[in-house]
Chains A and B, each alone.
Chain A
Amino acid sequence: MDRKIKVVIAKLGLDIHWRGVYLVAQYLKEAGMDVVYLGNKFPAEIVEAAIEEDADVVGLSSLSGNHLSLGPIVVDMLREKGLHNVQVFMGGVMPPEHAKRLEKEFGIQKVYLPDTPMEEIISGISTAVKNARLTGPVSYEIKSD
């Protein structure tokens, strides 16, 4: 049997709105995922936790404007550490154009904006992880270059 999907989820930087991120964490748990909620963290700490927890997914919550500045840093740091299979999802309040840019230019797998049903988030994450497990190694190899 596949191991449970492991999600490390954090509030990004100084953002204070914990209602949404906590709810998403609860719903993912109820959907059978293994969820570690970190609270407020900056990118380096989030990546460290992702390594420690052997995460499939990093979830970032941002509702006060640091999505474009800090979100991409998390992806870059993960890739620098060779964690190519860890998928980064974001959720929160931001202009839809920013969400598109995060997905197209900055390697965020998917940004969930307000009004998204929980089911959509759960299935989005499950599918992405399933695909990643099919196409790539599940354990992470540190790139030598």
Chain B
Amino acid sequence: MPDRTNKDQKGPDHLFSGEHIQSIKDQYQDWFNNSLRDADRETEGKYFTHSGIPIKLIHTPADIEGMNYVEDLGFSGQAPYLRGVYPNMYRGRLFTVRQLAGLGAPEDCNERVCYLLDHGATGVSILFDMPTIRGYNSDDPEAEGNVGQCGAAVDSIWDIDAYFKDIDLGKVSSSIVTHLPSTSLVIPAMYFAVAEQRKTPLTQVAGTCQNDFIMETCIGSGYEILPPAVSFRMQCDVVEWICNNVPRWNPISYNGYNLREAGTDAVAEVGIAIANAIATAEELIKRGLKFDDFAPRLSFFWDLHNDFFEEIAKCRASRKVWYKIAKERFGAQQPKSMLMRYHVQTAGVTLPATEPLNNIARSAIQGLAAVLGGGQSLHIDSFDEAYSAPTEEAALVSLRTQQIIQAETGVCSTVDPLAGSYYVEYLTDQMVKRIFDYVEKIEGLGGLVQVVESGWLHREIANYNNKYQQKIENGETKMVGVNFMRADKAKTAPIRVFEYPETYSRQKAKLDRLRKERNDRQVQESLDLLRKKCHTTENLFPYCLEAVKKLATLGEIEELFREEFGLWAFPLL
């Protein structure tokens, strides 16, 4: 037995004692020199994870030398939360099965949402069409051709009401995928207003809105974009108001997912999202809030990409990084302020159009990794990803994949089952360090708003994409059926895409009726007041809420923002 009083190895919690480690290192060297062929030895130093962490042929306790079990890993539901945010994890509550729904008009979506809920989904995730995402009404000229495509059209509170017809807003948890802070001031306001009309107290309303200024200014390009500092202010307005008024709502979902899909590795995905959380926290503290007032409601959104073990390590590492920042940097007092809760979606960017049924396998493996990483809710991408938003059959396969993971594989029976794997712990430790370094890099350049304004972040993404694409073009990154093992006659699928050409006329008719029925003077007054508030430091949310209750439309409010705040030129690179 090793001497447990050996102080140079930090004491009894230490996983492996100094002399034990030394003997492992000696035997490893012996094995390396004598058991491997030259050709095997030459592969060493040539394997890396997707984000560039060196991989050894075999990992041993020597790779996690110095790790202290209690301090570095601990137990689920305890600091540093690396093993999971809740003590009982999936035995207590399975991850939320949350599949995206949104095509056509709100009335069409209502059918799909009810269909998914009837088949056992426990939350809904709502996608919008491009005009809604970018803040235009269905009958604005900019919306032409995009109404009801790839998501639902929402123009007014009437549409949210129709979307959630016969659904109890006090019971369902809704993820409202508003990309931009400016629309997160409006669409969640519509949702809350509908809840109020139905006499559901806001204290019971649960859900999430995305509300990430990086979505507006970096991840997606756009036709008309608000300046980063304005978008960031709106992001913080949404967080502040919702934290004070809708306690079960997550007012922000730091969008690592779309960053990754736009083009980053796993380290930057988490690093940028966390840099945004830090920036938000600093701003809200400046506004007089305490960290513990809002931190429990901040949520994150990760992409589950192909590199199986690295992705699991990323999820585990992200919890520890956030714990350390909450505790050490912001002095969090409540345990809930230190827990990183996140939603996971499998990686759409890894799903090709060729032989699309293969994507069921890809997504299932990614979904499994998401669960092994300990996520709180999951969307599994559908096999028709490269064709359209999920069709009904594809959405059902994704839902069933989640249920198979939950009910048939047994992976939910114990907490963090890969803990203690030398490889996974080594990767997790590497990810923690690299994420901290990336956050530091951003802060060294002046912080997140600054690196967006300067175009630095856009260049990071472009450089990554160039490298990634090169590897696909030259075959170094293999895509089965696409650039590797391609069939002579590679098949695409006969996927029947949903089309909703009638959405435009339905939305237009509704808007016409709305404009006729509403009280114009009241609408105008509410918009005038909002306009005035744009030039103060007051929180804009309550004024948006008032305006949508008076039947102001999404497009009207967004146009007001564009007029008052002006537009920003997306760096063209």
Are A and B bound to each other? Answer: yes
Residues of A within 8 A of B (CB): 11, 13-19, 22-23, 26-27, 37, 39-42, 64-66, 68-70, 93-96, 113-115, 117-119
Q: Of all chain B residues, which has the CB nearest A30?
A: B466
- Would B223 and A22 count as touching, CB distance under 8 A? no
Q: How far apart are B446's CB and chain A's nearest CB, in angstroms?
A: 24
Known interface pairs A14-B134, A39-B221, A95-B388; A19-B465 also in contact (CB < 8 Å): yes
**B473 touches A (CB below 8 Å):** yes
Known interface pairs A14-B223, A16-B220; A115-B144 also in contact (CB < 8 Å): no
Known interface pairs A66-B149, A95-B497, A114-B386; A17-B482 also in contact (CB < 8 Å): no
Of A14, A26, A27, the residue contacting B142 (CB under 8 A) is: A14
- Would A42 and B570 count as touching, CB distance under 8 A? no
**B150 touches A (CB below 8 Å):** yes
- B236-269: CB near A (< 8 Å → 1, else 0) gives 0000000000000000000000000111000000
Of B136, B144, B353, B573, the residue contacting A69 (CB under 8 A) is: B144
9 contacts between A and B (CB under 8 A): A13-B145, A14-B222, A16-B179, A22-B573, A40-B570, A64-B149, A96-B492, A115-B353, A119-B473
A138 to B134, CA, bound (A): 39
Residues of chain A within 8 A (CB-CB) of B67 are none
- Would A18 and B221 count as touching, CB distance under 8 A? yes
Beyond the given A64-B150, A70-B144, please list 9 additional residue pairs across the A-B interface where CB-CB is below 8 A: A13-B145, A16-B179, A17-B220, A22-B465, A39-B221, A64-B149, A65-B149, A95-B495, A118-B473
Residues of chain A within 8 A (CB-CB) of B353 are 93, 113-115
- Would B146 and A11 count as touching, CB distance under 8 A? no
A89 to B221, CA, bound (A): 20
- Would B469 and A14 count as touching, CB distance under 8 A? no
A15 to B130, CA, bound (A): 7
Q: How far apart are B305's CB and chain A's nearest CB, in angstroms?
A: 14
A19 to B427, CA, bound (A): 28
Known interface pairs A23-B465, A68-B145; A40-B495 also in contact (CB < 8 Å): no
Q: How far apart are A12's CB and chain B's nearest CB, in angstroms?
A: 9
Q: How far apart are B105's CB and chain A's nearest CB, in angstroms?
A: 14
- Would B146 and A64 count as touching, CB distance under 8 A? yes
Of A11, A40, A94, A117, the residue contacting B473 (CB under 8 A) is: A117
Residues of B within 8 A of A (CB): 129-131, 133-134, 136, 142-146, 149-150, 179, 219-223, 261-263, 352-354, 386-388, 461-462, 465-466, 469, 473, 479, 482-483, 492, 495, 497, 570, 572-573
Residues of chain B within 8 A (CB-CB) of A13 are 130, 142, 144-146, 223
Of B130, B263, B354, B461, the residue contacting A14 (CB under 8 A) is: B130
Q: Of all chain B residues, which has the CB nearest A119?
A: B473
A117 to B150, CA, bound (A): 25
Q: Of all chain B residues, which has the CB nearest A65?
A: B149
Of B222, B388, B469, the residue contacting A40 (CB under 8 A) is: B222
Residues of chain B within 8 A (CB-CB) of A114 are 352-353, 386
Q: How far apart are A74's CB and chain B's nearest CB, in angstroms?
A: 12
Q: How far apart are B109's CB and chain A's nearest CB, in angstroms?
A: 15
Q: Of all chain B residues, which has the CB nearest A68?
A: B145
Q: How far apart are A26's CB and chain B's nearest CB, in angstroms?
A: 6
- Would B352 and A115 count as touching, CB distance under 8 A? yes
Residues of chain B within 8 A (CB-CB) of A96 are 492
- Would B130 and A66 count as touching, CB distance under 8 A? yes
Residues of chain B within 8 A (CB-CB) of A27 are 469
A65 to B501, CA, bound (A): 11
Of B136, B221, B386, B495, the residue contacting A16 (CB under 8 A) is: B221
A23 to B466, CA, bound (A): 7
- Would B386 and A93 count as touching, CB distance under 8 A? yes
Residues of chain B within 8 A (CB-CB) of A19 are 261-263, 461, 465
Residues of chain B within 8 A (CB-CB) of A15 are 130, 146
Residues of chain B within 8 A (CB-CB) of A119 are 473
A68 to B144, CA, bound (A): 11
Q: How far apart are B559's CB and chain A's nearest CB, in angstroms?
A: 14
Q: Of all chain A residues, which has the CB nearest B384?
A: A95
Residues of chain A within 8 A (CB-CB) of B497 are 95
Residues of chain A within 8 A (CB-CB) of B461 are 19
Q: Of all chain B residues, which has the CB nearest A67?
A: B145
Residues of chain B within 8 A (CB-CB) of A65 are 129-130, 145-146, 149-150, 388
Q: How far apart are B196's CB and chain A's nearest CB, in angstroms?
A: 31
A13 to B495, CA, bound (A): 25
Of B131, B146, B149, B462, the residue contacting A22 (CB under 8 A) is: B462
